Amino acid sequence: MDDPELQDIRARHEARIARKLKGEYESAVLHLADLVNNNLETPARLASVRIDGATHTRKSFLASLIDPHITPFGASDTSTFGSVLRATRDIGHLLQKTDIFSSVNAKLEPSRDPLALPGDVDLTLLTRERGRLYLKTSTEVGNSEGNASATARVRNAFGGAETFEANVSVGTKTRRSFQASLSAPLTATLDTYGDLSVFAMDRDNSAFASCTEGLRGVKAVIRRGTRTAGQHEIGYEGVFRHIAGLVPSASIRSNSMGPRDAADSLGGDLFWATGFSLISDIPGRSHWPLKSHLFLNAGQLHPREPSQSFRQAVTSCVTQPSISAGVGIIYAFDPVRVELNFGVPLVATKSDGIRKGLQFGMGLEFL
């Protein structure tokens, strides 16, 4: 083990070296800043720009970003070193904005063109492209539904900062769904984008209506701006919806409040719901994640009759609630919550699809 006195001497020596290096670095930075500031008005022209590392990006797309910032030949009398620095900054910002590159580093050097004029400089941008392909699979269980999905995303799909994404899923209620979209910049400033997407979905509604629902659609959008400064968009969406596959309904539980036509729930125009829950520790087991609870829920789904005013419809909906109560145990592991309850309906309309007894649920949100 080293002598404590020697350790103290070594520490002081290292501290002096660190202070000296820090001072030299700060001095060099100040000198460089003075050098740049003193030459901002010096005549200079950005003669050419070269990008290294953009192996999957179209040259024509890069040229559309860069060309507006290159000073035309013969205009060197109006171009200065300061404008060259600003153009370098703007080009680097645009390349980062494309989301194609993970790093962009700039280097300025005197132009190597044999016809170059005094003050002409070349800009070299050393870049590294991001990974292009992203794949994800997932399964989700909750809110009385389970599904499995796969998502694929291709960045810079055609070499012009386009993004292609597709998602497909299968499940217990939403039997099949598919969505594919292509997004691409429309202007050299990257402030305007165009999005084109197609989608399809088949949903099983037999739990509350004797049918399945299918959607097929296409959507086109032009959007401009940023999320921080404000974004505007104009779009068109066309959807084809069909109801098919009539099947008998065995039991009506979820989505069964309000009026019905035989076994099919018809929905309504006004809806409200509220709930009260009292959660407590299991006696003698306060450290358990398992808790007991009492609950009381009330709500109503009400159609508005043509002969009713809006005020009459609201009054009728509020004053004729369906009410249920029960006890149970819950287990919460954020963000999923699992419940096992014994519940009974206290008040219900004739058309409500009621259930009583033990009920098991897993989901993200509960009333």
Digit-coded pLDDT (tens) for 48-93: 899 999 999 999 999 999 998 887 665 545 788 888 889 999 999 9
Mean pLDDT score, 141-165:
90
Distance between CA atoms of residues 68 and 90, nearest Å: 10
Instruction: Supply the pLDDT for residue 162.
Output: 96
Grade residue 248 by pLDDT with cuts at 50, 70 and 90. Answer: very low
State the average pLDDT for the chain: 82
Query: For 298-319, what is the mean pLDDT?
Result: 85
Rounded CA-CA distance 152/103 in Å is: 24
Tokens representing 130? 């991001």
* pLDDT tens digits for range 170-187: 988 888 999 999 999 999
Identify the band that residue 305 occupies on the pLDDT scale cut at 50, 70 and 90: confident
Q: Where are the beta strands (DSSP E) in the chain?
A: 45-52, 101-110, 120-129, 133-142, 145-155, 163-171, 174-185, 192-204, 212-226, 230-244, 260-261, 264-265, 270-281, 290-302, 322-333, 336-347, 357-363
Domain ranges of the chain: 45-129, 133-244, 260-363
d(CA 270, CA 320): 12
CATH of 45-129, one of 3.10.20.310, 3.30.2320.50, 3.30.160.40, 1.10.287.3510: 3.10.20.310
Question: Who wins on pLDDT, 250 or 235?
Answer: 235
- Give the residue-averaged pLDDT of 6-17: 77
What pLDDT, on the 0 to 100 scale, is given for residue 135?
A: 95
Kindly indicate the confidence band of residue 366, based on its pLDDT and cuts at 50, 70 and 90: low
Kindly state the percentage of the chain with pLDDT values over 70.
83
Question: Which whole number is the average pLDDT over 139-161?
Answer: 88
Residue 106 scores a pLDDT above 60: yes
At residue 252, does pLDDT exceed 60? Answer: no
* pLDDT for position 251: 29
Residue 264 predicted with pLDDT over 80: no
Distance, in Å, from the CA atom of 102 to the CA atom of 81, rounded to the nearest integer, reads 28
